[in-house]
Amino acid sequence: MTTARDLAALAGLLADETRAGMCLALLDGRAWTAGELARHAGVAPSTATEHLHRLVSGGLLVERRQGRHRYVQLADESAAQLIEDLAGRLESRPVPVAGLRAAAASAALRRGRTCYDHLAGRLGVALTDAMAAAGMLDLAGGFALTTYGKTFLISTIGAEPGAGRRPLARGCLDWTERRPHLAGVAGARLCDTYLTRRWITRIGSGRAVRLTPEGGKALHDLLDLNTDGL
């Protein structure tokens, strides 16, 4: 049974700006080195290592080793969902940015980004709305794929989605749009497919993504997606 001490310990993992910033960065779904996260957070490598040790010990992150290199990433989708849901609880307010580059980066994240392994931002919400309007998602009876939606998913990714403990579809509250976007196995497989086909591409090394002209045309044809503002 979860105790108050257990809950306080979990909350304490994110009650530090450096650790919270690292977890937000890792919402891109990729594995980072300690050095990369140290530079991202603006702290010394030794400080980053201490913070990462706490996050790994607390179960929010896991370590991956490849040869001589060590990487860290979010433990699983539930860890990513926890961080995204907490961000969604915060009051939406303008964040002061220093310079045009920071302003452009903030705008890009709001327009489209990855949330662990699925799409978020205006792009993610627009795709979710388009699927619901086409009868592929049942939002009234719980966030679920309809029979038509399952057929669309299989035809798009070219295979039956793998079974596992993750739900096929679930709603994830978008912290910038304040509305749900598609997560779960369906959200992950569609995101991976769109990236592979280059319908969407990453912007730089962060979480931001953009819809390509080819992707806009393809998704308009498939989902009648309105690409204005995307």
| CA distances for 49 relative to 38, 61, 144, 221, angstroms | 8, 13, 40, 48
pLDDT in tens, 124-183: 999 999 999 999 999 887 889 999 999 999 998 887 776 667 888 988 888 788 888 999
Domain ranges of the chain: 4-75, 100-223
For residues 29 and 114, is the Cβ–Cβ distance under 8 A? yes
**Cα–Cα distance measured from residue 196 to residue 202, given in angstroms and rounded to the nearest whole number:** 11
Length of the chain: 230
pLDDT in tens, 13-55: 999 999 999 998 888 888 899 999 999 999 999 999 999 999 9
Reduce the DSSP state of residue 84 to 3 states and report it: helix
**Cα–Cα distance measured from residue 81 to residue 215, given in angstroms and rounded to the nearest whole number:** 27
Please give the CATH number for the structural domain made up of 4-75.
1.10.10.10
Identify the pLDDT of residue 97.
Answer: 53
pLDDT for 85 beyond 90 = no
| CA distances for 166 relative to 77, 161, 185, angstroms | 8, 11, 7
Identify the pLDDT of residue 92.
Answer: 58
Q: Has this prediction a pTM greater than 0.85?
A: no
Identify the pLDDT of residue 48.
Answer: 95
How are beta strands 180-183 and 144-145 bridged, if at all?
A: unpaired
CA 146 to the chain's CA centroid: 23
pLDDT for 95 beyond 60 = no
Identify the pLDDT of residue 141.
Answer: 74
**Which amino acid is located at 174 in the chain?**
D
CA 111 to the chain's CA centroid: 13
